[in-house]
């Protein structure tokens, strides 16, 4: 008699399926108490930075160019106070084989799968990562299966997601396209169990370690071009892996004083798992709908302990509007002659604003770009938005209401990144740790873990716990 493949039965076997599909026993990293050994888990990849560089060279990944955006810098300086307006540089990750930085994440996962005898790899993704996994898998002779959440209950799919599915298929991947809802994770688990393929999750140590080369390259290239490390690096933030890996790589290059700034598209008020809201957003990644939940509770991912823990590394978190990102996407193409996909330009919109706060002799780096295509182009996205009843107009982007309007700035001076309260977000993470573990008293080891996890100090954590009536 075959296994019970009902939703309840498959979900109950989650840990068993994941352990076999990833090849990592996460219990070995757990402390007695609430925490776990993050660095031990990261070291479990078994590959150091030099080995990862070699793996990526074999897959034609990395060593992407860095451009100075001189024309956008000039405009930023015209809008900035006297003596302000940092030099804006761009790390062009669209030059990777699959068109985004996620080729770095996929390269290590696919290499590890091949090395350990898996016949194929599976990834659940809106698409960019799926394309990366498919691209790297076929290079190494493995079978890729990509599972996408594409449609709402009416059968309508976002042009950006459909475009990314097309790209996955172009690499020869089998693509399973689903409607929004809990069936995504269920289907993912079922496919892993039925195929015995490797789980090329975005959130394993392999995936995050692959992004470390991006931060390392970036820091070294800027130092070579300018004689110093950058003052700030702006990173588009969603599930946290992009920021985590980049920050770790920057630190490994010795650029410990470089400020790490997270940037997300403001989609506040929209629920990412809502059938009603699913197509009322024009960005499928790099937005607050993923950025905030994954920042305050990283272990909501598809592995027991997520290696993407942006809360350990970010110094500042800003948001920009959909309209601002569409504007800067057009500006990048028409002023700098570089056409790239909108989602990857989230950090560029933030950088254009933040550069105006910085001195002229300072360096600011936009950490990645992504490829563009018919479905990713602003015209396709805005046309789809209008069909879904979203008002699209020119004006003040501060008046934009996610799910109701997209307001394209009527001048570049109206692009203004908005700061989020990082202290509040760190307190929210501590609160979730306490609630999840159902504890009212912490040991010194627990305290050490929370201090590391939030990148704060003893007094901050103690004061936060006192507010929650938790004893130390």
Question: Angle, nearest 10°, between helix axes 70-79 and 346-354?
Answer: 50
For residue 23, what are its two tokens? Answer: 């090849």
The β-bridge partners of 265 are: 287, 320
Query: pTM for the complete prediction?
Result: 0.96
Backbone angles phi and psi of 196, in degrees to 5? 60, 30
Let me know: does 133 contact 140? Beta carbons within 8 Å. no
Domain ranges of the chain: 7-51+100-205, 61-96+208-419, 429-467
**Residue 1's pLDDT is what?**
53
Tell whether the torsion through CA atoms of 453, 105, 89 and 239 is positive or negative. Answer: negative
Sheet with 174-179, side-by-side order of all strands: 174-179, 143-151, 120-124, 198-199
pLDDT tens over the chain, length 472 residues: 578 999 999 999 988 898 899 999 999 999 998 999 999 999 988 899 999 999 999 999 999 999 999 999 999 999 999 999 999 999 999 999 999 999 999 999 999 999 999 999 999 987 799 999 999 999 999 999 999 999 999 999 999 999 999 999 999 999 999 998 888 889 999 999 999 999 999 999 999 999 999 999 999 999 999 999 999 999 999 999 999 999 999 999 999 999 999 999 999 999 888 888 999 999 988 999 999 999 999 999 888 899 999 999 999 999 999 999 999 999 999 999 999 999 889 999 999 999 999 999 999 999 999 999 999 999 999 999 999 999 999 999 999 999 999 999 999 999 999 999 999 999 999 999 999 999 989 999 999 999 999 999 999 999 999 999 898 8
> How far is the C-alpha of 350 from the C-alpha of 416, rounded, in Å?
7
Backbone angles phi and psi of 125, in degrees to 5? -165, 155
Listed in sequence order, the residues at least 6 apart from 3 whose beta carbon sits closer than 8 Å to its beta carbon are 9, 193
* Spatial CA neighbour of 314 closest among 232, 200, 409: 232
Backbone angles phi and psi of 336, in degrees to 5? -105, -10
In the structure, how many helices (H) and strands (E) does the chain have?
A: 18, 13
For domain 7-51+100-205, the CATH class is alpha beta
* Spatial CA neighbour of 375 closest among 347, 341, 337, 348: 341
**What does R_g of the chain's alpha carbons equal in angstroms?**
22
Fold of 61-96+208-419: Rossmann fold (3.40.50)
Decide: helix, strand or coil at residue 79.
Answer: helix
> How far is the C-alpha of 313 from the C-alpha of 338, rounded, in Å?
30
Instruction: Kindly compute the dihedral angle of the four CA atoms of residues 82, 84, 89, 90, in this order, to the nearest 10 degrees.
Output: -100
Backbone angles phi and psi of 177, in degrees to 5? -105, 125
* Spatial CA neighbour of 146 closest among 156, 160, 131, 136: 131
* Spatial CA neighbour of 357 closest among 425, 292, 261: 261
**Residue 181's pLDDT is what?**
81
Let me know: does 458 contact 447? Beta carbons within 8 Å. yes
Let me know: does 157 contact 275? Beta carbons within 8 Å. no
Identical fold at 7-51+100-205 and 61-96+208-419? yes
**Residue 8's pLDDT is what?**
92
SS3 content of the chain, % helix, strand, coil (to 5): 50, 15, 35
């Amino acid at each position: 008699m075959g296994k019970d493949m009902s939703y309840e039965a498959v979900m109950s076997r989650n840990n068993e399926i994941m352990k076999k599909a990833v090849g990592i026993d996460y219990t070995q990293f757990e402390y007695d108490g609430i925490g776990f050994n993050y660095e031990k888990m990261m070291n479990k990849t078994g590959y150091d930075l030099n080995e990862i560089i070699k793996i990526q060279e074999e897959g034609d990944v990395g060593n992407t160019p860095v451009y100075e955006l001189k024309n956008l810098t000039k405009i930023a300086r015209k809008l900035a106070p006297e003596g302000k307006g940092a030099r804006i540089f761009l790390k062009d990750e669209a030059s990777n084989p699959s068109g985004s930085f996620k080729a770095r994440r996929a390269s290590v996962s696919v290499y590890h799968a091949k090395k350990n005898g898996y016949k194929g790899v599976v990834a659940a993704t809106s698409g960019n990562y799926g394309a990366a996994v498919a691209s790297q898998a076929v290079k190494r002779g493995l079978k890729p299966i990509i599972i996408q959440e594409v449609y709402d209950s009416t059968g309508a799919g976002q042009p950006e997601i459909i475009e990314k599915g097309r790209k996955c298929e172009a690499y020869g991947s089998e693509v399973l396209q689903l409607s929004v809802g809990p069936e995504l994770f269920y289907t993912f688990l079922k496919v892993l169990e039925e195929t015995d393929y490797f789980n090329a999750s975005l959130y394993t140590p392999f995936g995050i370690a692959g992004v470390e080369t991006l931060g390392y390259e970036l820091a070294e290239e800027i130092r070579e071009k300018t004689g110093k490390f950058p003052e700030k690096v702006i990173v588009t933030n969603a599930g946290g892996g992009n920021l985590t890996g980049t920050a770790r790589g920057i630190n490994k290059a010795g650029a410990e004083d470089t400020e790490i700034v997270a940037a997300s598209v403001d989609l506040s008020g929209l629920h990412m798992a809502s059938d009603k809201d699913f197509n009322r957003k024009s960005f499928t990644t790099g937005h607050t709908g993923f950025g905030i939940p994954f920042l305050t509770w990283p272990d909501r991912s598809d592995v027991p302990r997520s290696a993407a823990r942006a809360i350990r590394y970010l110094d500042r978190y800003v948001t920009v509007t959909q309209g601002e990102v569409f504007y800067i996407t057009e500006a990048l193409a028409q002023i700098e002659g570089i056409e790239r996909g909108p989602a990857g330009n989230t950090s560029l919109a933030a950088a254009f604003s933040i550069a105006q706060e910085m001195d002229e002799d300072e360096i600011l780096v936009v950490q990645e770009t992504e490829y563009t295509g018919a479905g990713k182009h602003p015209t396709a996205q805005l046309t789809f938005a209008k069909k879904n009843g979203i008002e699209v107009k020119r004006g003040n982007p501060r008046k934009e209401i996610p799910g109701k309007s997209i307001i394209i700035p009527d001048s570049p001076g109206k692009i203004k990144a908005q700061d989020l309260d990082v202290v509040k977000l760190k307190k929210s993470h501590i609160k979730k740790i306490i609630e999840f573990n159902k504890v009212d008293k912490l040991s010194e080891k627990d305290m050490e873990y929370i201090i590391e996890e939030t990148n704060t100090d003893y007094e901050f954590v103690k004061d936060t716990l006192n507010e929650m009536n938790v004893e130390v």
